[in-house]
Amino acid sequence: MKRNNFKTVRLFLGVFALGAIVSCTDLEVDPDNSIDDPDFSGVNDPENFVNGIYGGLNGRIGDQANLFAISEVTTDEFLIPTRGSDWGDNGIWRQLHQHNWQNDHAFITNTWNQWNQTHFAATQVLSDLTQTSAAVRADAHFLRALGYWVILDNFGQIPVRDPEESLLVDPIVIRGEEAVNAIVADLEAAIADLPAVTGGSDRASKAAARLLLAKVLLNKHIYLGNSVDVADMNRVVSLVDAITAEGYSLQAGYFDIFKEGADSETIWWIPTGVGNRIWNGLHYNNSPEIAGGGWNGFATLAEFYDLFEGDANNNEAGNGQEERRGFVPLAGLPLEEVPGGSDVNDDGFADGSNVGNGFLIGQQYDYDGTPLTDRGGNPLTFKREFVDGDGNPSLINNGETTGIRVIKYNPRFGGFTNHEVFFRYADAYLMKAEAIFRGAAGGDALTMVNDLRVLRGAAPLGSLTAQDLIDERGRELYEEFWRRNDLIRFGQYTRDWDFKDPSAVGNNDKNLFPIPASQIILNPNLTQNPGY
C-alpha cells in the first residue's frame, strides 16, 4: 500500500496539509508555500508548484487502491477474493464489491484526502496573491476542476477553503448546482488558455478539459437530483465535436491504444507505471521472469465477461470473439515480432508474450505452448466461478485459479511502462452518442454505436436501448475508472450482482460514499451522507 506523509494541522481536510504531499505522490512543494503558514502570501514558484500537483496524480491514478478501487471494485467489473492468506487485508477489498463499506474505510478516506489536496493546491495557485502566467493558471483551473469533480462525484459535497483565510475558520461546503457551476467555470477558463494538442499529452489540453466538461454535463442531472436537461446534452455534443475537430478519432487495433506511444485516441495519459494494471490479476506463474510474476488478486464476474461476443468458456486466440474481449495465446511470440521487447530467458521468445489481452479464461500456456500449472502443479485454468475449498460460492478460501482475469496493458511491452491512459476519445465519442440518445441533436446514436462495434469486431445492433449504451461503455472502457460513474448514471449501481450484500441491493444511499467520520467532526459545515 502506498502511504502519504502528512503534517498535523487543523483545516478542512483535518489530518493533512497540502504542503506535505510528498513521498509516493512525487509532489514536491516549497516549504515557504506550505498551507499551514497562517500568513499565506501567494505561491512563490507557481510553475513548479503546478508541476508538483501533476506529479501527485501519478500515485492517485496509478494506484490499484483508493480512487481506482472505489471506481472499479465497487462494481460488477472487478472483485478480489481471498486466496489462502493473499488479499485478505481484513476484508477491505471484499467490502467494496459487496457494498458493505463503513465510514472509516481506508480507500474511501484516502480518496477524500488526496483529491481535496489536489483542488486546494490548485486554489493556492489561483489566489490573487499568486503572480503567474495565463498558461499556469489554465493548468490550475483544470486541476482544481478535476479535484472538485472527483469529490463531488464520489461524495456529493466539496469543502472549499480560501487559502487567505485563517485555518481556524471552517471551510464552506458546496453542493449540487453551486458545485457544478464552480467546476464548469474552472473548465471554461481552462479551455480558453490550455494548449491544443493532437496525439495525446501527459498534461491537460483543450481536449482534456472539454472531455471532463462533457462528463460533468452528462452527469449533471445526477448531481442535481433532477431530470436530464437537453441543453446540457446539446453542449456535450458540441464539446465532443470540438475534440474531433482537433484531430482525435477512433483507432483500429484496440489493444494498441494501451501501448506506450502516440495514437489517435489517447487524449491525456499519466506518466505512471502500469504495473498495477498488469500484475494484480495475473497468476504467480504468469511471466515470472518479469518482476517475479503476477500477484493473483483482481478478477471479474462472469456476468461482465458475458457482455462480450464469443464462447462463454473459451477465449483462446482465433475462437471468434470480438476484439475487445481479447484472447488467450497458445504460445509466446518470437522476440523479433515484438518491437522493443526483451528476452531475459534467452529462449527466442519475447518476455510476457505468452500472456493474453483482455479476458483470460481457461488454460494458460507457456512460451513453447506447454500448458502452465499453478504452484500446486494443477492446470493453470482461470475459471468463471469463485468458490471455496468445498465448492461453495464464496469470496474467501478461494483456490489460485478462481475468477476470469482482466488485462489491458500487456507485459510484452514493458512490465511497468510509465504510460497509463486516463482520458480517451472513445469515451468522448460514446458520451456524444449517449447525449443524442438522451435528446440532443447532432446525429444518430445507433449509427455511432454500430460504427464503433464494427471497428471492434462486434456485430452491429438492430436498435439502441439504455441497456445497450451502458453495456457498450462497459465493453469499451473497462478498467479505465468509469464503471461506477456510468452505472450510477444509468440507475444500475445498486442492482444485484454476485456476492453483493443483500441489504445493499436497491439501496440508493450507496450511490455516494460516506464522508470520513473524522472530517464530520472537524468541519460542522459538512453533512454526513444518508445511510452512514
Tens-of-pLDDT digits for all 532 residues of the chain?
A: 322 322 223 333 433 333 333 323 334 333 333 344 568 999 999 999 999 999 999 999 999 999 999 999 999 999 999 998 899 999 999 999 999 999 999 999 999 999 999 999 999 999 999 999 999 999 999 999 999 999 999 999 999 999 999 888 999 999 999 999 999 999 999 999 999 998 899 999 999 999 999 999 999 999 999 999 999 999 999 999 999 999 999 999 999 999 998 899 999 999 999 999 999 999 999 999 998 999 999 999 999 999 999 999 999 998 999 999 999 999 999 999 998 899 898 999 999 999 999 999 999 999 999 999 999 999 999 999 999 999 999 999 999 999 999 999 999 998 899 999 999 999 999 999 999 999 999 899 999 999 999 999 999 999 999 999 999 999 999 999 999 999 999 999 999 999 999 999 999 999 999 999 999 999 999 999 999 9
- Provide the pLDDT for residue 199: 86
d(CA 275, CA 532): 34
- Provide the pLDDT for residue 7: 27
Angle between helices 134-155 and 206-218 (to 10 degrees): 30
Beta bridge partners of 424: 266
In 3-state terms, what secondary structure has residue 199? coil
Q: Indicate the pTM of the whole model.
A: 0.92
Encoded amino acid at 86, one letter:
D
Cell 450482482, residue located: 497
d(CA 493, CA 476): 18
- Provide the pLDDT for residue 1: 33
DSSP string, 1-31: ----------STTSS--GGG--GGG-----G
d(CA 116, CA 26): 17
Domains assigned to the chain: 1-194+494-532 (1.25.40.390)
Do residues 21 and 27 touch, judged by C-beta distance below 8 A? Answer: yes
d(CA 140, CA 393): 48
Q: Give buried/exposed letters for 207-220 (b at 16+ CB in 10 A, else e).
A: bbbbbbbbbbbbbb
- Provide the pLDDT for residue 39: 81
- Provide the pLDDT for residue 14: 38
In whole angstroms, how far apart are CA 300 and each of 297, 306, 307, 364, 522?
A: 10, 10, 12, 17, 38
